[in-house]
């Protein structure tokens, strides 16, 4: 069909070389136009290519080198990874329409072609990092993506929400180094206006989990962690018993209003009862009081609300 956008995979040595030539040109032109940018050298390096080639060559969850074609011409490329071994996430690492073909809806048409291709290859939804670039953000919003927290390094993410309803389970975190905990924690901190956790503080948090100073509860949609909360146990001289402080309460924006917050609170309550904790308390801003009341925090203690059983 005339003007139809199709997708071809770079598989031969010549095609892969051509793909990397276009990818490096894209980095120089669109992503790192300043030669002094500290990240530019790495992304243009053979080391970066070798890292991606390892992902390309792995038997499970590989990345793909793709070209967009229209009317017999290459008009752009994409670099996605599909995690079929997890929950079917397609993570779009790179996406580019060549400058001479931009405009008139070409970018959106290429994005829709990519999403259709990903679905045919086992993807259930898509995610990407937009780097805080508002122009890029607006483009992906027109495709249907929504802002959805940040990654484990604090970089802004967008998600094309999955259409399928999947049961949510809540479990106690067992791996202090879980990368998804770091992602959720950074999303939580970013939302409340705090600095995201860098490597040193991430390790401090992991040590606290190992030492039993804090217990995290993770809400999972298949293998994807979509929410969390934590309880810190402490001794109260007021009740002469252990009490718990409820913290780190966060659900990814794309998965809110689905009852996940209530599931997390209930899991923390059950665990607290099993641990002999007399009450859970939470410190919150006035704007959040009604939310915590709706979740069962009943007794106001100054600016602290207690979940008494």
Span 110-125, average pLDDT: 97
Q: Does domain 5-123 have CATH number 1.10.10.10?
A: no
Residues 168 and 226 sit within 8 Å (Cβ to Cβ): yes
pLDDT band at 32 (very low <50, low <70, confident <90, very high): very high
The CATH number of 168-308 is: 3.40.630.30
Residue 203 predicted with pLDDT over 80: yes
pLDDT band at 43 (very low <50, low <70, confident <90, very high): very high
**Average pLDDT along the chain:** 92
Give 107 or 85, the one with higher predicted confidence. Answer: 107
pTM of the model: 0.88
**Looking at residue 307, what is its pLDDT?**
59
Shared fold status for 5-123 and 168-308: yes
At CB < 8 A and 24+ separation, what contacts does 52-60 make?
Answer: 52/79, 55/81, 60/84, 60/85
Q: Where are the domains of the chain?
A: 5-123, 168-308
Give 291 or 207, the one with higher predicted confidence. Answer: 207
List the single range of 42-56, 214-228, 292-306 with lowest mean pLDDT: 292-306
Rounded percentage of the chain residues whose pLDDT exceeds 90: 77
Query: What are the tens digits of pLDDT across the range 231-251?
Result: 998 877 777 778 889 999 999
Query: What are the tens digits of pLDDT across the range 144-165?
Result: 999 999 999 999 999 999 988 8
């Amino acid at each position: 069909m005339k003007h139809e956008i199709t997708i071809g995979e770079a598989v031969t040595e010549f095609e892969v070389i051509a793909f990397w030539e276009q990818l490096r040109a894209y980095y120089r032109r669109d992503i790192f136009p300043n030669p002094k940018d500290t990240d530019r050298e790495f992304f243009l390096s053979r080391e970066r290519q070798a890292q991606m080639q390892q992902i390309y060559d792995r038997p499970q969850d590989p990345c793909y080198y793709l070209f967009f074609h229209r009317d017999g011409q290459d008009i752009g490329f994409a670099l996605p990874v599909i995690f079929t071994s997890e929950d079917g996430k397609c993570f779009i690492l790179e996406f580019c329409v060549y400058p001479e073909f931009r405009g008139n809806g070409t970018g959106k048409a290429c994005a829709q072609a990519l999403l259709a291709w990903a679905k045919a290859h086992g993807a259930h939804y898509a995610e990407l990092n937009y780097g805080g670039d508002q122009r890029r953000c607006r483009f992906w919003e027109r495709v249907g993506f929504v802002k959805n927290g940040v990654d484990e390094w604090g970089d802004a993410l967008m998600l094309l929400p999955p259409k399928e309803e999947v049961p949510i389970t809540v479990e106690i975190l067992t791996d202090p180094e879980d990368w998804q905990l770091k992602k959720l924690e950074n999303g939580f901190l970013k939302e409340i206006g705090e600095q995201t956790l860098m490597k040193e503080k991430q390790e401090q948090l992991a040590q606290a989990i190992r030492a039993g100073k804090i217990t995290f509860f993770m809400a999972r949609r298949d293998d994807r962690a979509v929410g969390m909360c934590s309880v810190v146990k402490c001794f109260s001289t007021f009740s002469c018993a252990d009490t718990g402080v409820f913290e780190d309460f966060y659900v990814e924006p794309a998965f809110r209003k689905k009852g996940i917050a209530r599931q997390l609170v209930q899991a923390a309550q059950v665990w607290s009862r099993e641990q002999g904790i007399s009450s859970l308390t939470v410190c919150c801003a006035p704007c959040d009081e009604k939310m915590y009341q709706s979740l069962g925090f009943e007794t106001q203690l100054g600016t602290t609300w207690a979940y008494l059983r």
